[in-house]
C-alpha cells in the first residue's frame, strides 16, 4: 500500500502537545498541556456535525492529520494549529513502514 500523501502536502505547522499533571495547591491536580514537538502536517476534513448541548449549538468536526512518522504520539495527546485544537482519537502507521503517520482527530465547539 502506498501513502496517499506526499511531503509537499505537509503545509501546516502544528504542535503536538502532551498532558502534564500539576498540583493545584489544594491537594488536587490540574491538567496543563506542554509542547512535545512542532512539525509540518497536512490536515484534511472527514466529517462535521452540530448538536444542541446545554441550550447552545456545539459543532464537532473530524479530520485526518498526516505527518512524518513518530513513535511517540498517543491518543491522550492533542494537536494544535494556531487557535485550532484537535483531540487525537487514533493513530496509524499507514503502510507499516514507519514513513507516515495518520492521526484521526476531533475538533470541538466550532
Hunting for cell 514507519 — which residue is that?
98
> Which domains occur in the chain, in start order?
16-108 (2.40.10.270)
d(CA 104, CA 63): 6
**What is the tens place of the pLDDT at every residue in 33-72?**
999 999 999 999 999 988 777 777 778 899 999 999 999 9
Q: What is the pLDDT of residue 41?
A: 98
Q: What is the pLDDT of residue 42?
A: 97
Q: What is the pTM of this model?
A: 0.85
Amino acid at each position: 500500500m502506498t501513502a496517499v500523501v506526499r511531503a509537499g502536502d505537509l503545509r501546516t505547522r502544528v504542535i503536538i502537545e502532551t498532558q502534564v499533571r500539576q498540583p493545584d495547591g489544594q491537594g488536587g491536580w490540574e491538567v496543563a498541556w506542554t509542547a512535545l514537538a512542532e512539525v509540518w502536517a497536512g490536515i484534511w476534513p472527514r466529517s462535521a456535525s452540530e448538536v444542541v448541548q446545554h441550550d447552545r449549538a456545539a459543532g464537532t468536526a473530524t479530520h485526518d492529520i498526516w505527518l512524518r512518522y513518530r513513535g511517540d504520539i498517543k491518543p491522550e495527546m492533542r494537536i494544535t494549529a494556531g487557535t485550532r485544537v484537535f483531540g487525537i482519537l487514533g493513530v496509524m502507521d499507514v503502510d507499516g513502514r514507519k514513513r507516515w503517520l495518520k492521526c484521526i482527530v476531533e475538533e470541538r465547539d466550532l
